[in-house]
Structure 1
Amino acid sequence: MKGFVLAGGLSTRMGRDKALLPFRGRLLIEHAVELLVGVGLDPHIAGSRPDLRRFAPIVEDLHSGAGPLGGIEAALSNVAEAALFLPVDLPLLPPEFLRLLLARVGLTGAAATIPTIAGQPQPLCAVYSRTLLPRISAALAQGDGKVMRVVTGLRTDLFSVESVATAQENFGLPSPPHQWFTNVNSPDDLARAGTA
């Protein structure tokens, strides 16, 4: 299976390119790519970012300005069955969680496997089947870039990160689950993540 780092955003709240921000001795893009490699995935970067080619192969968006759903569409156009997606700005996500996410895909066979934290879906850190591609393309053609609307009504595995983490004996994770999904969107977010 391929893994894709979603790195096509504009980083407007950060004020500079998030992918190239240093975090604990590595750039955020390096951290994300290494995370995918560490769980046995073939890493790629989804987004029109030729400047990031030195970190992993790039899959260019099929439509400009389509947001994360556009990156997911382009990535799924380049896989045979399914792909795991990871935003570039989740530096506290542990590899053990991605392994668990991949294991769930094999158990459920769902078109979308999406974690929730505090009841909120995290659709940019998920696994999507290529079977979603026609729905995604149709939504983007209508100007709808909302990932959760695309999967509504489909066989979707929405699972609670907290419940799964609690059920895992000797999970051995360095931080509580609510910190795993700390998005680094601003300089303050980056500072907080660095001390977590």
Structure 2
Amino acid sequence: PHSIYSSTFVIVIHMANSKNITGIILSGGQSKRMGKDKGMVLLDGRPLVAYSISAFTGLFSDILIGANNKDYQRFGLSVIADEIQGIGPAGGILSCLKASQTHGNLVLSCDMPLITKPVITTVLKQRSEFDAVVPVHDGHPEPLCAYYSKNAIPVFEEMIKKGMYKLRLILEKLNCFYTDIHKSGIDPSAFENVNTPEDVKRIEARLKSRNK
């Protein structure tokens, strides 16, 4: 299942050893099925957004912090709100790319708690020649765990002006590389996301099994 963003907030993180890349966490707004802001939903006692922060820690530097949502300030990070509200993750990605101080950016949705550093570094390996690098498994692209350069900004702006908000359509206009994660030995289950209380229970069980 895919994330549906009613109001997207963007946490911009830069941490050590980034090699000129900014890490971006997209944290969806209020989730009707979860009864709270998705990034604050607890998974094994930790907010979902904390898993994304852990995946980024040690990979990115040159900290750039916006300011918006007070709920996320307790993580020591500020939040950048969408410049254009109500259009889904495209609005969050655009706002963050514009705020970023680096050419390269790794975008990750907060509802993918199984994403690890090896997954991120696999995506980043192809970044030099492309405006976007998107992992694919079983023919299914994952644009919310992907690399975007600042070259993507005008394309996002143009497509949004036309009312074309789907990331699939935006990617078609970019110089985008689709990297097959199976060839890198990555388990596709890393891209599972959390949308319901049932998802929380299922992924908690997976995390406990992984940590044994």
Q: Give the structure-2-normalised TM-score.
A: 0.79
**Unaligned 5+ runs, structure 1:** 166-175
Structure 2 residue 171 is the aligned partner of structure 1 residue 151 = yes
2 CA distance for matches of 1:94 and 1:129? 21
Query: Residue 156 of structure 2: which of 136, 145, 170 is its match?
Result: 136
Query: Residue 140 of structure 2: which of 120, 126, 139 is its match?
Result: 120
Q: Is the 8 A contact 1:83 1:128 kept in 2?
A: yes
Q: Give the structure-1-normalised TM-score.
A: 0.85
| Cα displacement string for residues 129-179 of structure 1 (whole angstroms, at most 9, x for unaligned residues) | 1111111112112222111211214321101111211xxxxxxxxxx6121
2 CA distance for matches of 1:100 and 1:155? 18
Aligned to 1:68: 89
Deviation at 1:98, TM superposition (A): 0.8
Aligned to 2:69: 49
Aligned to 2:190: 180
1 CA distance for matches of 2:52 and 2:83? 22
The AA in structure 2 aligned to 1:125 is C
Aligned to 2:53: 33
Q: Is the 8 A contact 1:184 1:190 kept in 2?
A: yes
Deviation at 1:113, TM superposition (A): 0.3
Query: Residue 5 of structure 1: which of 25, 36, 49 is its match?
Result: 25
Aligned to 1:90: 112
Q: Is the 8 A contact 1:33 1:43 kept in 2?
A: no
What SS does structure 2 have at the residue aligned with 1:14?
Answer: coil
Q: 1:59 to 1:117 in 2, by over 3 A?
A: same
Deviation at 1:43, TM superposition (A): 6.7
2 CA distance for matches of 1:139 and 1:47? 26
Query: Residue 58 of structure 1: which of 74, 79, 82 is its match?
Result: 79
Structure 2 residue 202 is the aligned partner of structure 1 residue 192 = yes
Q: 1:51 to 1:33 in 2, by over 3 A?
A: same
1 CA distance for matches of 2:68 and 2:139? 32
Pairwise CA RMSD: 2.1
What SS does structure 1 have at the residue aligned with 2:107?
Answer: strand
**Unaligned 5+ runs, structure 2:** 1-20, 207-212
The AA in structure 1 aligned to 2:86 is G
Aligned to 1:160: 180
Percent identity reads 29
The AA in structure 2 aligned to 1:190 is V
1 CA distance for matches of 2:65 and 2:156? 19
What SS does structure 2 have at the residue aligned with 1:51?
Answer: helix
